[in-house]
Amino acid sequence: MLIGIDASRAVTPEPTGTENYSLHVIRTLVNQARGKHRFRLYLRDMPAEGLLPHDDTVEWRVIGPHRLWTHLGLGLELARHPPDVLYVPAHVVPLCCRVPAVATVHDLGYRYYPSTHTPRSRWYLEWSTKHNVHAAERIIVDSRATRADLQKLLGISMDKIIVAYPAGSGDVAPVQDEETIRGVRERHGLDGPYLMSVGTLHPRKNLGLLVDAFGDMASSADAPPGLRLVLAGKRGWLWKPLLERIRDRGLRERVICTGYIDPQELSALLTGAVAMVMPSLYEGFGLPILEAMACNTPVICSNASSLPEVAGDAALYVDPEDRAGLQRAMDRLLADDKLRQELIGRGRQRLRLFSWEQCAEAILAALEEVGGGG
């Protein structure tokens, strides 16, 4: 069977959640099906050397144009040279696609929190999600929470939806070398304990609440000297109000916005952090939770959407609207090393439940069913 995959998002220079998902799923699918199926990866740009597999069983098709690439370039390529089945891990099925398709829908957060998106992105998410769930023969989701949302909000049958949990990035791992950690701390001006959040800066991450809770904590007489908050992630949409809040709270020296950082630096920052804090209003999965667990870093996260599915009993939970509760949770982990070690141990156990191999197995089974290659 020839499996076509939209790999355009897997070669993004500064990948975030869905781009990392695309990359790891493609690599693992190819590894699992090597010798059984062939793959054709559709690309808008040439990948960096070694990023994606390329051999006798995996061909690349670099196609244009850049503008309207999916619906013009990829759509035309599929019409001229159709594979047996198409998989879209992080984007949208082309219009007028006559190839049987499987697509991943990562979340429906825009439905619950429309004000956290620009009008344009909200319109596009609504259109692309509806298009995917109707154009694809099977829908892959990252969590039971998203499966329930698809059924409740869009009326999609449970029989069409397959839950395939992602896993953490293998590139993010604990750093043993103290000099490396010290060097990263010095680069970011971290001369004391720090908490951190990982993810693109946009309103759905609820970072305004985090900044306020941290500001309350940092102004307390009990706050340790040099306490900092690190926001690790590139600027997304509607990010300016967050920077204004940091300024208005007088926290520009206390809150460090790193911008995008590579996995090696992220690993060092997570390893040295008191905790990773994720107070999101909504997440389709929450890869930073697994990345923190991989670095032996305790987790504080909201009790919203899919996050309890991911963190299980290995996190402190907070209501995403409870500023005082978030402050108490951060205070607890700063003061209670026994609790920190307990959460770290539970996190190591929790991490074993997630693997890209299991994720790819479920996706491959759907592709074989839809493409007739089982």
Q: Where are the domains of the chain?
A: 2-167+355-371, 178-351
| Matching fold, domains 2-167+355-371 and 178-351 | yes
pLDDT band, residue 10 (cuts 50/70/90):
very high
Q: What is the DSSP letter of 366?
A: H
pLDDT band at 171 (very low <50, low <70, confident <90, very high): confident
User: Which of 163, 167, 144 lies closest to 27 in space, CA to CA?
Assistant: 167
**Mean pLDDT calculated for residue range 203-208:** 94
Inform me whether the pLDDT recorded for 134 exceeds 80.
yes
Joined together, the tokens standing for residue 97 give 């696609």
Structure tokens at 40: 């054709």
Phi, psi (deg, nearest 5) at residue 47:
-75, 155
According to DSSP, residue 103 is labeled E
pTM for the model: 0.93
Distance CA 6, CA 104 (A): 11
pLDDT score of 374 = 59
Angle of helix 144-154 relative to helix 119-135, nearest 10 degrees, comes to 90
Backbone angles phi, psi at 59, to 5 degrees: -105, 155
DSSP for 78-96 reads HHHS--SEEEESSS-PPTT
Q: What is the pLDDT of residue 14?
A: 83
Rounded to the nearest integer, the mean pLDDT of the chain is 94
Confidence of residue 273 (pLDDT cuts 50, 70, 90): very high
Structural Rg of the chain based on CA atoms? 21
Superfamily of domain 2-167+355-371: Glycogen Phosphorylase B; (3.40.50.2000)
Report residue 349's pLDDT band, with 50, 70 and 90 as the boundaries: very high
Within 10 angstroms of residue 339's Cβ, the number of other Cβ atoms is 13
**What is the reported pLDDT for 211?**
97
Average pLDDT of the segment spanning 236-240: 83
Domain topology for 178-351: Rossmann fold (3.40.50)
Is residue 34 exposed (0-12), middle (13-18) or buried (19+ Cβ within 10 Å)? middle
Rounded mean pLDDT of 177-181? 92
Residue among 63, 58, 65 nearest 77 (CA): 63
Q: Which residues pair with 230 in a beta bridge?
A: 196, 256
pLDDT tens, residue by residue, 316-329: 999 999 999 999 99
Beta bridge partners of 197: 231
pLDDT at 56 (0 to 100): 92
- Pairing of β 2-6 and β 38-43: parallel
Give the integer Cα–Cα distance in Å for 315 and 337: 14
Q: 303, 304, 273, 278: which is closest to 290 by C-alpha?
A: 278
**Residue 221 pLDDT level (bands cut at 50, 70, 90):** confident
Q: pLDDT-based confidence at 276, cuts 50/70/90? A: very high
pLDDT class for 13, splitting at 50, 70, 90? Answer: confident
The whole-number pLDDT of residue 298 equals: 98
* pLDDT tens digits, 53-66: 999 999 999 998 88
pLDDT at 127 over 80: yes
pLDDT bin (cut points 50, 70, 90) of residue 12 is confident
pLDDT at 170 over 80: no
Q: How far apart are CA 173 and CA 149, in angstroms?
A: 32
The residue-averaged pLDDT of 111-134 equals 93
- Least confident among 16-20, 27-31, 49-53, 126-130: 16-20
**pLDDT at position 169, please?**
72
CA 223 to chain centre: 32
